[in-house]
Chain A
Amino acid sequence: MTSPTRPTPDRPQSAIRRIIAPLASLKLTVLLIALSIILVFTGTLAQRHQGIWDVLHTYFRAPIVFIPLDIFLSERSERSFAVPFPGGYTIGLLMLLNLIAAHALRFRVKARGRRLLTGATLVAVGVLSIFWFHSGPLPARILSDAGGYAGVLPLMLVGALFYAPLVAGCALTFARRAGIVLIHASLMLLLAGEGVTAATALETQMPIYVGATSNWSQDIREVELVLIDPSSPESDLTIAISQSALQRAASSGELIANPAMPVAILVDRYFPNSDIRPLSPGEQPSATAGFGVNVAAVGLPRVTGVDRNRSINVPAAIVTLLREGLPIGTYLVSPHLQLASFIPAEQEVRIADRPYRLAMRFRRFHKPYSMRLDAFHHDLYPATNIPKNFSSDIHISDPARSIDHEVKIKMNNPLRFEGETFFQSGYIPANHPGEPDLGTVLSVVKNPGWTIPYIACAAGLIGLVYQFGASLIRFLRRSTP
């Protein structure tokens, strides 16, 4: 009796195959591509009525989307029906499953024994070398040494060395199909990369006045209501209530309460986008204390993705503070209320004979380091008022880690620090013409998965070259007598 060289499929494997087979269908692939085209099309049209970030989160970073049919009409309708449609998460996830299932069913490891071991080792070494290469300083150094775009070709040549073990490993393991495996792996990486970006990426702004030091950045797409206890001389105890909590409390009428809060907060009204105007003669203010006794908040339509002035939603809210069930006062809060650009005007509130400060501001993210703006430069093209370059001389310091150095951030030359990238994105203009600008605005982007699309594209390119190159060589061999 001879022992079988290959195990016969047992019942569980058959069951797995039955489960996976529909997922691996090519028809499903085509259907998903068609659905994604429709999703992109409707998501683009939706930006006529919704802001670009709204669309991103409701269409593409959502499991399901309800597409209002009025996006296909020239005018917005109040009685429009909405059609449920798979969102970006669902389509992306199914695409990923489809790819994985196809590989599980159709692709076979060709190598056996020592060849398989060598191939698998090379693949592992290749993956490690690729991630080491992309996470290290080498790509940035090659680009800066070559002076920007001229460094792309040297970068690709050097990078190819780090991808070589992966290609060799795939060739040993999958033989002729190595190219296809690489291409599919790059697609999976792209899909997974978007998942990582959606979950972890954060883009904020860091405004700094000349001579000032800042240790926070803010997300101008989201606000927070803060109640600050300034009693400590070293630091402020900050209680920050998120925008979603404010919106939910406004619609449900529930109190916002937390053991750490000295008061409970009732959100009387919440305006997703607003303006502030002086009170009319005889008009009763909504607020009983603070700035709101002189002004009123007016609701405005939310900004859309096609707004020419690229404005943002600036919410406002009327909130009542309650201590032990008794109202302390009703306040109007909004980022509109500010002492100067980016400096929220905080309203003083006395709670249990202690002073607190209340403000609605854009959501802040504090940093463990601080940045001081020593100088800001705003260069113009000769003989015009057209900006040529903006640059900021920044002093970074973190005494805890002995960080103390100066950098220059300018357009197309960002600073990468602490896993974040600081771009020169704007400036705080002077109050009067002819005076120097007051400060800089840096765009702070944190995206741990930013290298994934690069890796995916590189792997895909190598896979394509391998696949077509191998086919060409086979063809030439066959046609040679």
Chain B
Amino acid sequence: MTGRRVPDPRSFIGHRARRNHAPVCDREISTGDHETPEKITCKLLDAMNFYPNITVVRDKTMQVASSLTRTRSGTHHMTQHAARTSRFRLVLQPICIISACALASCDDAKEVRVYRAPKDTMTSVNARNQPASARNAPRNGALQPPSLQTEPMRAATNAGMSDELTWVLSEGWSEVAESSPMRLATLRTNRNGATNDVTVTKLAGRAGSLLANVNRWRNQLGLPPIDDAALAETVHPLERGAMPATVVDIEAPETADAPPQRMIACFFEHAGASWFFKITGDKRDVDALESEFMGICRSVHPKPRPAAQGSEPFNGTDMSAPNAELPPALTAPQSAGPLTFRVPPGWTQDPEPRVARVATILIDETPGAEMAISRFAGDVGGELANVNRWRRQLGLPPAATLADESVTNVNIAGHPARLYRFAASSASPDAQGMIVALMPHTNETWFFKLTGRVTDIDANRENLEAFLQSVSFTP
């Protein structure tokens, strides 16, 4: 038998160390005090196989080497046999290496890395792009980074926004007169003969810590208090909400005299006050109403200031309508594509992009009403074709001419435009209608289309005209 010596792992390490000289500090092998021999072995094997640039075997080399020897000694018997046939040796060596790696669950992240890095230039460049408040802040412990200013705080300081919150109710919900002085509002729905309420409460400041509030609610449900660690399991941030908020979900098990209970609360901070939206009741009822409740919470947003308090001076372009009254105050300028505009109070630009639209503006508290801004190349078939397209959408017969249409000439951003109004012939209160401004501009046609119930679009006509006045094209 001509057995081959198993190479000494220490000599192997030395060989690799001598062969590679490129200094890459990231690939040093670190050996923390608490690491198991298996883990160290794994690191070493891992490093030897996959990181060619090993230059430094640190001060614990001997420990590492001996642990490697121990691991190999476990397979010593097999290795002797393997030496007799080259095929088996070829197979066994990679298996041993892979086994060592797999069984030890490698983690090559070093515990403590010490290195020199060039000074970060991003901070100084970025400072030019930051608001003055951040730029001027001293770089020391007194610095209040912008991210510490919470979203509600920022929202409250936005021009045109008041300290109050408002929301949009889903179908089947109504706001009832409130008798309790503690409550700001009660939102009610009647389903399957049962009445369920969402209570809206506003308290000054933070109304105690979140944990204190959660424990107060748990107490109301007959549950014991929890600590900070358990709090994390109970709360989560509101997803896809118009404002950031914290959602608390508490369930109480069935007792001898009560079915299982559930309470969902949504907690907003706005303008130095705490707002709680809370639904409590039989778990089955709350489960059924959960999505609607979350929908209400997602719609919560700062209430626009009344027109008289508008802090931003209006700076829109002229309307061609004679004796146009002063438009209502608008919110801060917004933009979409090449357009800049200001939305009237109660209108909100939808951040979600839509196919073939420049922008979509939602009208608060009027579900289904919205204004779409779109633009298309050319004249899109001409004015009559477009009018008949809109008439068809409302179930109206096509018109042979434009003579009978309700149309007003307006001026948008200095360009002549035509403002049409259509209403479905139905006498239903839900009859749909639209007011559309059609504006040819360079080689394109722009549409500003307000759709919704006839009553809603008529109520918002003045807002639409004010909006059109505010439109301008970004140079």
> Taking the complex as formed, is B242 at the interface, i.e. its CB lies under 8 A from any CB of chain A?
no
Which residue of chain A lies nearest to B118 when distances are taken between CB atoms in the complex? Answer: A235
Known: A209-B129, A340-B129. A12 touches B84 (CB 8 A): yes
B121 within 8 A of A: yes
Q: Which residues of B lie under 8 Å from residue A402 when comparing CB positions?
A: none
Cβ-defined partner of B147 (8 Å) among A245, A294, A336, A386: A336
B232 near A301 with CB under 8 A, answer yes
* A314–B102 alpha-carbon span in the complex (Å): 29
Closest chain-B Cβ to A306's Cβ sits at a distance in Å of 12
CB-defined contacts of A473 to chain B, threshold 8 Å:
none
Residues in A197-226 with C-beta less than 8 Å from chain B: 199-200, 207-209, 211-216, 222, 224
Assess A342 versus B122: contact at CB under 8 Å? Given A16-B85, A62-B105, A348-B140.
yes
If the complex has contacts A299-B232, A433-B335, are A339 and B112 also in contact, measured as CB distance less than 8 A?
no
B194 contacts partner chain A, Cβ-Cβ < 8 Å: no
**B110-133 residues at the A interface, CB under 8 angstroms:** 110-123, 125-127, 129-131
Please name all residues of chain B whose beta carbon is closer than 8 Å to the beta carbon of A339 when the two chains form the complex: 123, 126-127, 130, 134, 145-146
* Segment 428-447 of A: residues with Cβ below 8 Å from B: 431, 433-434, 438-439
Query: With A and B bound together, what is the CA distance between A63 and B98 in angstroms?
Result: 11
Stretch at the interface among B203-211, B258-266, B310-318, B395-403: B203-211
Binds B, one of A32-40, A138-146, A164-172, A276-284: A276-284
Is B123 in contact with A343, judged by CB distance below 8 angstroms?
yes
Q: Does the CB pair A383–B26 fall under 8 Å?
A: no
- Chain A nearest CB, measured from B376 CB (Å): 6
* B88→A16 contact, CB < 8 A: yes
**A236 in contact with B232 given A200-B50, A213-B121, A340-B130 (CB within 8 Å):** no
| A contacts with B, residue count (CB < 8 A) | 94
Chain A, Cβ-Cβ closest to B349: A433
Q: Which residues of B contact A393 (CB under 8 A)?
A: none
Find out whether the CB atom of B122 lies under 8 angstroms from the CB atom of A343: yes
Interface locus among B162-170, B356-364, B419-427: B356-364
Task: Give every chain B residue within 8 A of A380 (Cβ-Cβ).
Answer: 337
B-binding segment of A121-129, A256-264, A320-328: A256-264
Partner of B141, one of A273, A289, A370, A431: A289
| Chain A residues with CB under 8 A of B32 | 245
Contact indicator A301/B125 (Cβ below 8 Å): no
Of all chain A residues, which has the CB nearest B119?
A236
- Cα A308 to Cα B342 with chains together (Å): 31
Is the CB of B474 closer than 8 A to any CB of chain A?
Answer: yes
Instruction: State the CA gap A97–B99 with chains docked (Å).
Output: 11
Contact B50 A239 (CB under 8 A): no
Residue interface bits B92-116, CB-to-A below 8 A is 1, else 0: 0001001101110111011111111
Does any Cβ of B come within 8 Å of A366's Cβ?
Answer: yes
Nearest Cβ on chain A to B45's Cβ, whole angstroms: 10
Inter-chain CA distance A230–B209, complex, in Å, is 38
A242 near B: Cβ within 8 Å? yes
Which residues of chain A are near B388, meaning CB under 8 Å? none
Which residues on A sit within 8 Å (CB–CB) of B269? 277
Q: Which of B109, B206, B355, B474 contacts A222 (CB 8 A)?
A: B109
A276 lies within 8 A of B148 (CB): yes
Judge if B374 is at the interface, Cβ distance under 8 Å. yes
Across-interface contacts of B335 in A (CB, < 8 A):
433-434
Pairwise interchain contact A236-B145, C-beta atoms closer than 8 A: no
- Contact: A337 with B129, CB < 8 Å? no
Chain-B contact segment, one of A88-96, A176-184, A403-411, A451-459: A88-96
Known: A236-B116, A242-B111, A383-B375. A281 touches B205 (CB 8 A): yes
Q: CB distance A385 to B95 under 8 Å?
A: no
With contacts A236-B117, A383-B356, A385-B358 taken as known, whether A276 is within 8 angstroms of B231 at the C-beta atoms is no
| Contact call A240/B91, Cβ cutoff below 8 A | no
Which residues of the partner chain B approach A347 to less than 8 Å between Cβ atoms? 141
A383 partner, pick from B111, B206, B333, B337, beta carbons under 8 A: B337
B336 located at the interface, meaning its Cβ lies under 8 Å from any Cβ of chain A in the complex: yes
> Is B139's beta carbon under 8 Å from chain A?
yes
Question: A238 in the interface, Cβ–Cβ < 8 Å?
Answer: yes
Q: Is the CB of A212 within 8 A of B228?
A: no
Q: Is the CB of B147 within 8 A of A97?
A: no
State whether A12 touches B122 (Cβ < 8 A): no
Instruction: Answer whether residue B239 sits at the interface, using C-beta atoms and an 8 A cutoff.
Output: yes
A238 to B110, alpha carbons, bound, how many Å? 14
Tell me if A291 counts as interface (CB < 8 A to partner B).
Answer: yes
Q: In A287-334, which residues have CB < 8 Å from any B CB?
A: 289-291, 294-295, 298-301, 308-309
In the complex, B46 has a CB within 8 A of chain A = yes
Query: For the complex, what is the distance from the CA of A93 to the CA of B99, rounded to whole Å?
Result: 8
Would you call A480 an interface residue if the criterion is a C-beta within 8 Å of the partner chain's C-beta atoms? Answer: no
Instruction: Please give, as numbers and ranges, the residues of chain B lying within 8 Å of A248 by CB-CB distance.
Output: 34
Query: Is A80 engaged at the interface, CB distance under 8 Å to the other chain?
Result: no
Taking the complex as formed, is B219 at the interface, i.e. its CB lies under 8 A from any CB of chain A?
A: no
Chain A nearest CB, measured from B326 CB (Å):
25
- Least CB distance from B241 to A in Å reads 11
Q: Bound state CA distance, A238 and B116, in angstroms?
A: 6
Contact of A280 among B105, B112, B208, B474 (CB under 8 A): B208
B147, A338: Cβ atoms closer than 8 Å: yes
| Contact between chains at A291 and B143 (CB < 8 Å) | yes
Give A337-392 interface residues, CB cut-off 8 Å to B: 337-340, 342-343, 345-348, 364-366, 370, 380, 382-386
Counting CB contacts under 8 A, is B7 at the interface? Answer: no
Question: Shortest distance in angstroms between B142's beta carbon and chain A's nearest beta carbon?
Answer: 9
**Given A235-B117, A241-B111, also A337-B147 (CB < 8 A):** yes
Given known contacts A236-B116, A383-B375, is B98 in contact with A195 (CB within 8 Å)? yes
CA distance A294 to B126 in the complex (A): 25
Separation of A124 and B119 alpha carbons in the complex (Å): 49
Asked whether any CB of chain A lies closer than 8 Å to the CB of B306, the reply is no
Least CB distance from B3 to A in Å reads 11
Q: Which residues of B contact A211 (CB under 8 A)?
A: 125
Q: Let me know if B145 and A291 touch, CB within 8 A.
A: yes
CA distance A345 to B95 in the complex (A): 47
Contact check, B206 vs A281: say whether CB atoms are below 8 A apart: yes
Complex alpha-carbon distance, A132 and B268, angstroms? 61
Q: For residue A244, which residue of chain B has the nearest CB?
A: B109
A-B contact sample (4 more), CB < 8 A, given A240-B114, A339-B145, A345-B145: A239-B112, A278-B206, A300-B236, A385-B357
Tell me the B residues contacting A by CB distance below 8 Å.
26, 32, 34, 46, 49-50, 81, 84-85, 87-88, 91, 95, 98-99, 101-103, 105-107, 109-123, 125-127, 129-131, 134, 139-141, 143-148, 150, 205-206, 208-210, 228-229, 231-233, 235-237, 239-240, 269, 333-337, 340, 353-359, 374-377, 444, 474
Sort A-B residue pairs by CB-CB distance and give the 7 closest, nearest first: A299-B232, A212-B125, A434-B335, A89-B102, A280-B206, A345-B145, A383-B375
List 29 interface pairs A-B (beta carbons < 8 Å), by A numbering: A12-B84, A63-B103, A93-B102, A97-B95, A104-B88, A104-B91, A209-B122, A209-B125, A209-B129, A222-B109, A238-B113, A238-B117, A240-B113, A244-B111, A256-B112, A260-B112, A277-B269, A283-B209, A300-B232, A301-B236, A338-B145, A339-B127, A339-B134, A342-B122, A347-B141, A383-B337, A385-B357, A434-B333, A434-B474
